[in-house]
Amino acid sequence: MRFDRVKLLLKDDFAKLQNAKVLILGAGGVGGFAIDCLYRSGVGKIVIVDYDRFEQSNQNRQIGSEALGESKVKYLASIYPGVEPISQKIDINWVESFNFGEFDVIIDAVDDIVVKVALAKRVHKKLIMALGAGRRIDSSKIEVSTIWKTHTDALARRVRERLKKERFNKNFRVVFSTETPRVKEMGSFVGVTGSFGLFCCSEAIKMILEEN
């Protein structure tokens, strides 16, 4: 009963979701909505990695943020039974040592440029990278492309520059916005941050269904 509507949509391909393994890095405004979407769609194994705890400033946009002071991944795992939490700081050492081999898709919902570049170099074939979702209000400006075709987004530009310096030229999927930021401060709106997470989920499902 739970997944009947998804099965009506995907037919025999639903089995691919049930057998899929997705890793989500970052359980904030983008990552939380990606988790919710993948969970409700029937993805068989979802692993989430984050080291932060919920704060009051998260409550305008993050799923689970009513649990102030709680570990984000542990609380989200409690409301999405079966999701596996890893409470871990995501830094370059972790990226370089973690075994990504079992996962079909890796969703990058972190803000650290060094981490993003390291992820691209290690797992570009499986990667969906979320770029700048803050300081914007128009979800219709969100697009999916490769990192090399992004524009307007300052975070994307910095990632591109770092990759070029390191002589990396492979393609990977990114979710970004063409909307010019409204403010310089770190303002945020759930209509955009949440939509970024849903776009990441949609792209993950497409990647899974495209696999032979």
| 76 or 186: which leads in pLDDT | 76
pLDDT of 6-34, one tens digit each? 999 999 999 999 999 999 999 999 999 99
Q: Which tokens is 98 given?
A: 């973690």
Residue located via tokens 């029937």:
42
* Cα 8-10-15 angle, rounded to 5 deg: 110
We report the CATH number of the domain holding residue 76 as 3.40.50.720
pLDDT band (50, 70, 90) for residue 211: confident
Arithmetic mean of pLDDT, 45-73: 98
Cα 53 to Cα 3, 15, 57, 99, 164, distances in angstroms: 31, 34, 11, 25, 34
CB atoms within 10 A of CB 84: 13
pLDDT of 128-185, one tens digit each? 999 999 999 999 999 999 999 999 999 999 999 999 999 999 999 999 999 999 998 8
pLDDT band (50, 70, 90) for residue 212: low
Q: Which helix (H) or strand (E) holds 177?
A: strand 173-177
Write down the pTM of the prediction: 0.97
Q: Which tokens is 35 given?
A: 């988790």
203: containing domain: 4-210
Name the domain count of the chain.
1
